Structure 1
Amino acid sequence: MTTKTVSPSTGTGAPASARNPESVPSLADDPFSLANLADPYPLHEKLREAGPVVWLEKYGSYAVTRYEPVYEILTDFETYISGGGLGPADRRKSAEWRPAGILESDPPTHTAMRRGLSKVVSPSSVRRLRSEFEPPARDLVQELVARGSFDVVRDLAEVYPLQVFPDAVGIPQGGRENLLPYGSMTFNAFGPRNEVYEEAFRDADAVSAWVMENCERRNLRPGGFGAGIWEVADDGGITADEAALLVRALLSAGVDTTVTGIGNTLLCLARNPDQWEKLRANPNLAKFAVDEALRLESPFQMFHRTAAVDSVIEGVLIPKDAKILLFMGAANRDPRKWGENADSFDLDRSASGHVAFGMGLHQCVGQPIARLEIELVLRALAEAVERIELTGDPVPQIHNVLHAFSSIPVRVVPAAG
């Protein structure tokens, strides 16, 4: 359990995150190395077994990988704040490439922004999207099934969300290809300034300029989510600057995590033909398949929190201002929570409670839209496809915090009749 404490800091004068606590297991492993980003799970197991809290020597920060402490930290927003940034640097003390948005803010700023976004992205507004999102999913699936072979990422996961979600936000058609590199920039910035970060920001000026321009109020279609956010600003619920940030945040979160979620979910099903058969026999399992895939192959693998006060995690003293790297991907495979078969894809499992979309105050507001898109793709495929088979090895997409693939080649066998 995570508990607050009034224990004093050590008073050494060094930054809290730079001190190596002798009582904590210490590892030299780099979670942001190319090898660990491509395949994070061996390191996750090593960290989980080393202890509930581990010291990362390379970054001078704490790592938490087990489900219970990850859940506790995510839900204790007062002790473990987001305002210090989701990356290893404390954004309160260093310049960042963009202003803090909803993901890197705390109450009361976060409260106002989340309330404003919730007025626009609501259960009723998401339900209305189903009738708009379903026909494009069916049409695209029919086209791909007719081909016989295709790439899940390039031909499906990157195509469908870029068609339907920007429509819902009200973004113009031209230039939408900029949304993928913009999302890559946004989320890679939650890692260190490594070669992955540098690659993501290679065309930063042009990409950012397009996104900034097309999220301006004058360029958003009336009636879309984007225009709705600006209407909240008109009513005084948020500022104009916060409205602009929210439109951009909604776009980046609504595209990248959905692209990754579609790809990862279909990879799980292609690797487990018996589970695909279960889904085909009962398409109502689609929602369960989405959650189980989000648990097993979590799009968001890790990000940081900052300790606002001295605190205790699982008996370990965490000093004020220390950085804590939360591994949601590891927590979602923790056998202490999910059982000995935690590394398997099982539609009979209840994946309720997974932390793929965070938890508590900062749980992703847009997750119902991502879930809807993935579900509609699964239902369309379950109706049209008897079997999905991998025709080559999936190619990992190297990313600082997202677990995704750049290519998943498959062959499909159409359903009879």
Structure 2
Amino acid sequence: MNGIQDTTATAPMAAQTPPPVSDFDPFSMDFFRNPFPVHEYLRNLGPLIYLSAYDVYAVARYQEVHRVLHDWETFCSSRGVGLSDFAKEKPWRAPSLVLEKDPPEHDRARQVLSKILSPVTMKKLRESFQAAAERKVDELLARRSIDGITDLAEAFPMSVFPDAIGVPSEGREHLLPYAGLAFNAFGPSNELRNEAIAKASPHIAYVTEQCQKHNLSPTGFGAQIHAAVDTGQITAEEAPLLVRSLLTAGIDTTVNGIGAAIYALARFDDQWDALKAEPQLARAAFEEAIRFESPVQTFFRTTTRDVEIGGHVVPEGSKVLMFLGAANRDPRHWSEPDTYDIRRSASGHVGFGSGVHMCVGQLVARLEGELILGALARKVSRIRITGEPVRAFNNTLRGLKSLPLEIE
């Protein structure tokens, strides 16, 4: 059963031993700077590891990560997808209806968002998003010297997605800090989390207010979510929480995904040349960047019963940390995993999660990534890194704060 067994159904194994123990800190700055050697170390330790620094178990191989993501009954999200256990601690905000709930409660909210963010909707958005991508690239080409993150990876999604939700233009500078706060809060009470929470009040106030029906455009996704109250699919109290989920899931992961793709294409000339020769590979280039860099690095689950992973028992009520980035480069699953290859079939990566809790904003992220990379491939002959990239540090996300580029 993919290396995981329910010990409630079978007698304990006679040869069970404790899993390998590591005192490594998965929320340290050194790890954030370069996680890949540690990922290899963790994968090689075994299918299950015990992290003594936080009293949690961890999985870093693709097979085990994929299995945990898909078995929501054994590895629940309703007790929090961060280090905090909602059964023992009060959440810092009302839990997300899609990320931090399990079926059947999760399903009602998910169905509303899935209908709004359907493939049909993406087709309707394509033309306007395409035009915005073309305008953005033309604007940046006129400047030549740009920052690949602030001027492109952040600027393009922020120019289209809040409009699609129906958020007013004023105050949108709060959206990225709020999303960063939400992902930082999944970690421990370290400097990153504490600093984000200390600065959170104006961002939380803005987002909370913009999620209300009277502040949203009547034609946007937000209004459609509130309309689901009238049909009885969700309650009036749940509607703002679903709008909030869109604002979190649909912006920061997209920004970091586009940033990862631009950074990869700027470093690997052969892949940039391949994309220029075949701009239709833009979707594949974005997908491979999600696998290669994994903008969302980790998520937690909590066990609902004793469960066996790789011959070791994880007790009920234990936190299990999934290293999504490590799974996406596991050589047991991927051929040449440390190579960025836009011709690779990256299908099955866990960069957007997997199973019932897969990222609700994935279709939007893929559409935006494809369109902006396609516009770059058609209009830009060369991308050159002109300065030292600056890493953005977050307890859950991996991305850059700055990427000096010259384009022509």
1:375 and 2:370 correspond: yes
Equivalent residue, structure 2, for 1:206:
202
SS where residue 317 of structure 1 aligns? Answer: strand
What is the match of residue 406 of structure 1?
Answer: 401
The answer on 1:270 being equivalent to 2:266 is yes
The match for 2:41 is 46
For 2:275, which of 279, 295, 299 is the aligned residue?
A: 279
Given residue 29 of structure 2, which amino acid in structure 1 is its aligned partner?
L
Q: Deviations over 1:60-113 (max 9, x none)?
A: 011100000100110011110001101112112101210111201111110111
> Which of residues 181, 193, 196 is equivalent to 1:197?
193
Report the Cα distance in structure 2 between the residues aligned to 1:241 and 1:282, rounded to whole angstroms.
47
Provide the rounded CA distance (Å) in 2 between the counterparts of 1:399 and 1:90: 20
Q: What are the Cα deviations for residues 355-395 of structure 1, in whole angstroms up to 9, with x where unaligned? A: 00011110112201011111111011111111111112211
Mapped partners of 2:152, 2:391: distance in 1: 16
Question: In the alignment, which of 334, 337, 341 is matched to residue 333 of structure 2?
Answer: 337
2:80 to 85, 88, 95: 85
Do the aligned partners of 2:249 and 2:360 also contact (CA within 8 Å) in 1?
no
Aligned residue type for 1:77: W
Task: Indicate the residue corresponding to 1:99 in structure 2.
Answer: 94
| Contact 2:149/2:402 (<8 A) preserved | yes
- Whole-Å separation in 2 of the counterparts to 1:99 and 1:316: 34
Q: Which moved more, 1:221-230 or 1:341-350?
A: 341-350
- CA separation in 1, counterparts of 2:153 and 2:269? 20
* 1:3 equivalenced with 2:5 (yes/no): yes
> Residue in 2 aligned with 1:117?
113
Give the match for residue 139 of structure 1: 135
Aligned CA distance change for structure 1 residues 284 and 320 (closer, same or farther; 3 Å): same
Instruction: Give the SS at the match of 1:55.
Output: strand
Structure 1: how far apart are the matches of 2:286 and 2:395?
A: 23
Query: Which residue does 1:17 correspond to in 2?
Result: none
SS of the counterpart of 2:168? coil
Q: Secondary structure of 2:250's match? A: helix
Q: Is the 8 A contact 1:170 1:224 kept in 2?
A: yes
SS of 1:104's equivalent in the other structure is: coil
Q: Is the 8 A contact 1:9 1:310 kept in 2?
A: no
Mapping for residues 298-313 of structure 1, pairs under 5 Å = 298-313=294-309
Structure 1 SS opposite 2:198: coil
| 1:356 maps to 2:351 | yes
Residue in 2 that maps onto 1:347: 342
In the alignment, the residues of structure 2 paired with residue 323 and residue 343 of structure 1 have an alpha-carbon distance, to the nearest angstrom, of: 29
1:212-251 mapped onto 2 (5 Å cutoff): 212-251=208-247
- CA-to-partner distance for each residue in 1:243-301, whole Å, 9 max, x for gaps? 11110010111110111011111001011111111111111111111111000011100
What's the secondary structure of 2:146's corresponding residue? Answer: strand
Residue 382 of structure 2 aligns to a residue whose secondary structure is: strand
In the alignment, the residues of structure 2 paired with residue 214 and residue 88 of structure 1 have an alpha-carbon distance, to the nearest angstrom, of 28
1:176 to 172, 181, 187: 172
**If the length of structure 1 is used for normalisation, what is the TM-score?**
0.94
Matched, 1:35 2:30: yes
1:165 aligns with 2:161: yes
Deviation at 1:7, TM superposition (A): 7.2
Structure 1 contact 38–397 (Cα < 8 Å) conserved: no
Aligned residues of 2:17 and 2:311 also touching (Cα < 8 A): no
Instruction: State the secondary structure of the residue aligned to 2:181.
Output: helix
Matches of 1:66 and 1:113, distance apart in 2: 31
**1:125 is paired with a residue of what secondary structure?**
helix
Aligned-partner residue type, residue 5 of structure 1: T
Query: 1:203 offset after TM fit, Å?
Result: 2.1
User: Counterpart of 1:129?
Assistant: 125
- 1:158 Cα deviation (Å)? 1.3
Unaligned runs of 5+ in 1: 11-20
Give 3-state SS (helix, strand or coil) of 1:185's partner: helix
Shift of residue 304, structure 1, vs aligned partner: 0.4
- Percent identical: 49
CA contact (8 A) 1:8 1:310 kept: no
Partner AA of 1:110 in structure 2:
H
Q: Is the 2:391–2:402 contact (alpha carbons within 8 Å) kept by the matching residues of 1?
A: yes
* Cα deviation 1:156-187 (Å, max 9, x = unaligned): 11111111000000000000000011001111
Give unpaired runs (5+ residues) of structure 2.
none
Which secondary structure does the structure 2 equivalent of 1:411 belong to? strand
1:400 Cα shift?
Answer: 0.2
Which secondary structure state, in structure 2, belongs to the residue aligned with residue 240 of structure 1?
Answer: coil
Report the TM-score, using the length of structure 2 for normalisation: 0.96
Runs of 4 or more, structure 1, over 4 Å off, are 7-10
Which sits farther off after the overlay, 390-399 or 60-69? 390-399
State the superposition RMSD in angstroms.
1.5
Contact 1:31/1:43 (CA < 8 Å) preserved in 2?
A: no
Give, in whole Å, the separation in 2 of the partners of 1:193 and 1:48.
26
User: CA offset at residue 147 of structure 1?
Assistant: 1.2
Query: How far is the alpha carbon of 1:338 from its aligned partner?
Result: 0.6
d(CA) in 2 for partners of 1:22, 1:397: 39
